[in-house]
């Protein structure tokens, strides 16, 4: 087998949830720059469309914007149907959409919020992976990338339902890798603390604690997830499945 060159995605179709901002937007742009047509999904259609227009101008690739709340199975099914109707197939699925809202205390955490966190972070990835992974396995194969969190293995009281959902996503990654083998590779990226919209809500004390906890001395930039995403999406990772790749600057503990 020839060595892969430049994480080439020419002719591929990549679907990225939570794709209109943060880590997802960086992956969308990187995939398109390397030849993939992209499906950008998030709850706000206007944000998806704005990025789709930008990506098309910059790369010349097709970019489809779709409104989708991944916590709702009907939305997930509609997203799959539209992606296949418009672009014919999906070669790469990135389950990136997530949420980790604050709550006053564990005892005050509501059932509705708990269910919403589980739905967005775990139920949606399960449904999309089941639908698209089955099609990949029956066809030419593909790659599924789940975006987990360091909270899955270093949970704290302030994001416990989220951490529980991400731990489930890690388990889902391993199970799907076996379910859809040998034609579909399923892996996860497990980011630490990154400078995204979520980090804007951190106070100075939290930010300083975060930086002290990271051996590299800083939180990550969204662009620093791109290399891992390209590796897992492309044939460069042709013998990698069931892997959970930690990208956290060497984080020793969660400072929250």
114 classed as catalytic: no
- Asked whether the beta carbons of 98 and 70 are under 8 A apart, the reply is no
252: left (phi over 0), alpha (psi -120 to 50) or beta: alpha
Catalytic residue among 84, 103, 162, 239: 162
Residue 62 token pair? 């097709």
Q: Of 78, 67, 80, which Cα lies nearest the Cα of 13?
A: 80
Strand partners, 66: 41
- Asked whether the beta carbons of 124 and 76 are under 8 A apart, the reply is yes
Q: Is 4 helix (H, G, I), strand (E, B) or coil?
A: coil
Compute CA distances 19 → 47, 59, 141, 185, whole Å. Answer: 9, 16, 22, 21
Quick one: angle between helices 22-33 and 45-59, nearest 10? 30
Separation CA 54–CA 69 (nearest Å): 22
- The rounded Cα 244 to chain-centroid distance in angstroms is 12
Q: Which residues are catalytic?
A: 162
């Amino acid at each position: 087998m020839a060595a892969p060159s430049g994480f080439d995605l020419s002719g591929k179709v990549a679907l990225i949830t939570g794709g209109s901002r943060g880590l997802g937007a960086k992956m969308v742009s990187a995939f398109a720059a390397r030849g993939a047509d992209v499906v950008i999904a998030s709850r706000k259609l206007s944000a998806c469309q704005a990025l789709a227009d930008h990506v098309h101008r910059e790369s010349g690739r097709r970019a489809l914007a779709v409104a989708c709340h991944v916590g709702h199975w009907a939305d997930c099914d509609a997203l799959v149907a539209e992606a296949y109707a418009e672009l014919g197939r999906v070669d790469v699925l990135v389950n990136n959409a997530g949420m980790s809202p604050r709550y006053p205390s564990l005892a005050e955490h509501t059932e509705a919020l708990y269910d919403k966190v589980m739905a967005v972070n775990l139920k949606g990835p399960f449904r999309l992976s089941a639908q698209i992974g089955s099609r990949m396995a029956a066809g030419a194969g593909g790659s599924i990338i789940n975006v987990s969190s360091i909270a899955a293995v270093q949970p704290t009281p302030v994001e416990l339902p989220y951490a529980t959902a991400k731990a489930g996503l890690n388990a889902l990654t391993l199970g799907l890798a076996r379910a859809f083998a040998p034609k579909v590779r399923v892996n996860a990226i497990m980011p630490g603390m990154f400078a995204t919209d979520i980090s804007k809500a951190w106070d100075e004390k939290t930010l300083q604690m975060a930086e002290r906890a990271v051996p590299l001395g800083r939180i990550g930039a969204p662009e620093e997830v791109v290399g891992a995403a390209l590796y897992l999406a492309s044939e460069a990772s042709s013998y990698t499945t069931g892997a959970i790749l930690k990208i956290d600057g060497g984080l020793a503990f969660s400072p929250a």
